[in-house]
Amino acid sequence: MFEKVVEIIREHSKFLITTHINPDGDGLGSEVALAAMLKKIGKEAFIINESPIPENYLFLSKYGDIKVFSKEYINIIRKADVIFVVDISNWERVGEFGSLIMRESKALKICVDHHPSNSGFADLNIIDERASSTGELIYDLGESLEIPLNEDIATGIYVAIMTDTGSFRFPSTTSRVHMIVSRLLEKGIRPEKIYREIHERRSPSRMKVLGRALSNLNIECEGKVAWFYVTKEMLEEFNLNTEETDGFVNMLGDIREVIVSIFFLERNGKEVKVSLRSKDDYDVNKIANRLNGGGHVRAAGILMEASLKEAIEKVLGEVKKYLTKE
């Protein structure tokens, strides 16, 4: 699968790597690992994103220089031979930075991703929805390039796999995933330290907003559906960044009999981010697709231009239709 990519990497010297807006562990970890691989074989590799690194991933800066786009980096874009976009299912998810790349760069664009909703938007697309994470595919690329693992590469891949498998509890956690992780552990990475950095550095404000959101918990469809929301007023009251609400939706999965969990985040008066999670064989990606979102079978998202009330009504309507058919 990587034969053409390996050929391209060997033939070129200047690489730019980016991921989606509001990056997560899979996107950031994949970037760090890929940049470290390219540098290890003598290539120039730069990581530039539209969005800043969330606070709980700042420790990754020790393993890779992740820049937030500004005009001073325009020449990096123009001089790049190849641009990797990782963990992205469509070009719009790159944000305004993606529009700039399209205007300013003639570089070959390569997408590495594992989302089933990927539209194949790049010049070359490496997409495998069977993979646990984009990080797993970056590991495979390193194997194809015959690049030995080091601590930087191993840390990036571990973060990517660990976060996208829900700390190894999702069905995507295969025997192969554990085999890969065992090889990463041989490079001296410390799982307990990485977990603590990502999941145990929450602010008091986050816990207060979560408490407020849980007080608005709704259970519907005979206990099968749980949902709650956070308004922009709640964020402002406790001075909380939207990124710090990541993971809220997972709290609802602990409720017995709940099979579909939904979290609505009001980003402003006209935009709502919707996170969906499911258990068993319930495919929330199908629900997200109906509303121009996407993701995976058990984890999907939607960015809706709507009021909070409208978003709740539309999403719950689709969820109820889906459950009725099931």
Considering the domain architecture, whether residues 214 and 134 belong to the same structural domain is answered as no
Last residue of a domain, one of 184, 199, 214: 199
- The predicted model gives 242-259 an average pLDDT of 92
Instruction: Give the confidence band of 280 by pLDDT, cuts at 50, 70, 90.
Output: confident
Q: Are residues 53 and 106 in the same domain?
A: yes
- % of the chain residues with pLDDT over 70: 100
Residue 79, domain CATH: 3.90.1640.10
Q: Report d(CA 261, CA 279) in Å as an integer.
A: 9
The verdict on 109 and 166 lying in the same domain is yes
Half-sphere exposure of 159 (CA within 13 A, CB side): 31
Q: Residue 27 above 80 pLDDT?
A: yes
284 within 8 A of 318, measured Cβ to Cβ: no
- 295: phi then psi, degrees, rounded to nearest 5: 150, -130
Residues 6+ apart with CB under 8 A from 58: none
The amino acid occupying position 9 is I
pLDDT of residue 118 exceeding 80: no
φ and ψ of 23, to 5 deg: -65, 150
CA 284-86-136 angle, to 5 degrees, is 75
Structural domains in the chain (count): 2
Range of 144's domain? 3-199
Q: How confident is the model at residue 268 (pLDDT cuts 50, 70, 90)?
A: confident
Tell me if 309 sits within 8 A of 269, measured CB to CB.
no
Phi, psi of 156 (to 5 degrees): -60, -45
Question: Does 261 share its domain with 163?
Answer: no
Say whether both 194 and 214 belong to one domain: no
Q: Which residue has the tokens 């849980």?
A: 214
Residues 161, 141: Cα–Cα separation, whole Å: 15
Same domain, 299 and 171: no
Q: Which tokens belong to 326?
A: 């099931």
Contact 1, 113 (CB under 8 A): no
105 plus 162 within the same structural domain: yes
The whole-number pLDDT of residue 29 equals 98
52 and 195 both lie in a single domain? yes
Window from 75-79, 106-110, 239-243 with minimum mean pLDDT: 239-243
The model's pTM is: 0.89
Judge if 69 and 164 occupy the same domain.
yes
pLDDT of residue 116: 84
Q: Are residues 169 and 273 in the same domain?
A: no
Measured between alpha carbons, how far is 280 from 261 in angstroms, rounded to an integer? Answer: 13
How far apart, in whole angstroms, are the C-alpha atoms of residue 139 and residue 145?
A: 10
Query: Is 90 exceeded by the pLDDT of residue 90?
Result: no
Q: Are strands 299-304 and 271-278 parallel, antiparallel or unpaired?
A: antiparallel
Q: Tokens for 265?
A: 């985040």
Same domain? 195 vs 65 = yes
Last residue of a domain, one of 174, 199, 224: 199
Residue at which a domain ends, from 179, 199, 219: 199
Q: Please check whether residue 31 is in contact with residue 86, taking contact to mean a CB–CB distance below 8 angstroms.
A: yes
Residues 242 and 188 in one domain: no
* pLDDT the model gives residue 175: 97
DSSP string, 3-61: HHHHHHHHH--EEEEE--SS--HHHHHHHHHHHHHHHHTT-EEEEEESSPPPGGGGGGG
